[in-house]
């Protein structure tokens, strides 16, 4: 079977994508060492954990060195950040850009030979913040606009690869609960996308016949379940 590497696979959307790809792909489940990552690997019999700190470039190099062919790379790992420009110091900008953009760029760079070998497919999980900026979301939106630029650049430079950017609206996950708490609101998950719905769109993009290139997918919650 083809091989897929999914970052941020221990919970939420990453775990849902892993479940969606499990019937058709050998899986490398990326994430920090955790019981959650081990549990999803056990659930998906045959999946392997790929334990790495994405912002540690030496660790990342070691973890990718033995991957010689890769059919699918899903960039799902990321962090949120809230604060006005006035409230956001340089260290927070560095933290957000390092995780959401630079780590994805470096992982892509290191895996390009393996992806070229398989004529593979890269999926970037972006955000609505990668298409528009709301007040208080400057650093996060900058990282997502940068991620969009990274995907567009790879698509132009690597014509033998397919590169898909997914722009989902808010998703009903643990991370979303933390964000709503930071915003000071009451959490109502029914207003947001179900992780499995976004995962299905990702899986469908990956399964798109090779004569087509699904470049961008935009998903917005309807508020209906």
Task: Give the active site residues.
Answer: 140
**Cα-Cα-Cα-Cα dihedral of 197, 47, 98, 12, to 10°?**
30
Report the distance separating Cα 174 and Cα 157, nearest Å.
36
> DSSP letters along 44-59, please?
STT-EEEE--TT-HHH
> DSSP letters along 105-169, please?
HHHHHHHHHHHHHHT-EEEEE--GGGT---TTBHHHHHHHHHHHHHHHHHHHH-TTSEEEEEEE-
Report the distance separating Cα 93 and Cα 59, nearest Å.
22
Q: What is the Cα Rg of the chain in Å? A: 17
Say which residues have a Cβ less than 8 Å from residue 36's Cβ, sequence separation at least 6: 10, 11
The DSSP letter of residue 171 is B
């Amino acid at each position: 079977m083809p091989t897929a590497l999914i970052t941020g696979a221990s919970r939420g959307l990453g775990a849902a994508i892993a479940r969606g790809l499990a019937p058709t792909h050998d899986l490398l489940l990326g994430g920090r060492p955790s019981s959650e990552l081990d549990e999803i690997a056990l659930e998906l019999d045959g999946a392997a954990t790929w334990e790495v700190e994405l912002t540690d470039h030496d660790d990342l190099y070691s973890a990718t060195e033995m991957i010689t062919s890769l059919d699918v790379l899903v960039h799902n790992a990321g962090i949120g950040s809230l604060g006005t420009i006035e409230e956001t110091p340089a260290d927070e900008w560095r933290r957000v850009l390092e995780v959401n953009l630079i780590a994805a760029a470096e992982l892509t760079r290191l895996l390009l030979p393996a992806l070229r070998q398989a004529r593979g497919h890269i999926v970037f999980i972006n955000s609505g913040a990668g298409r528009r900026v709301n007040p208080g979301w400057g650093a996060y939106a900058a990282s997502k606009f940068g991620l969009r630029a990274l995907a567009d650049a790879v698509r132009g430079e690597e014509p033998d690869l397919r590169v898909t950017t997914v722009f989902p609206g808010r998703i009903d996950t643990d991370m979303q609960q933390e964000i709503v708490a930071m915003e000071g609101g009451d959490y109502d998950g029914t207003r947001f996308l179900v992780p499995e719905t976004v995962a299905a769109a990702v899986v469908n993009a990956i399964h798109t016949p090779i004569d087509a290139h699904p470049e961008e997918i935009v998903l917005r919650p309807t508020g209906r379940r």
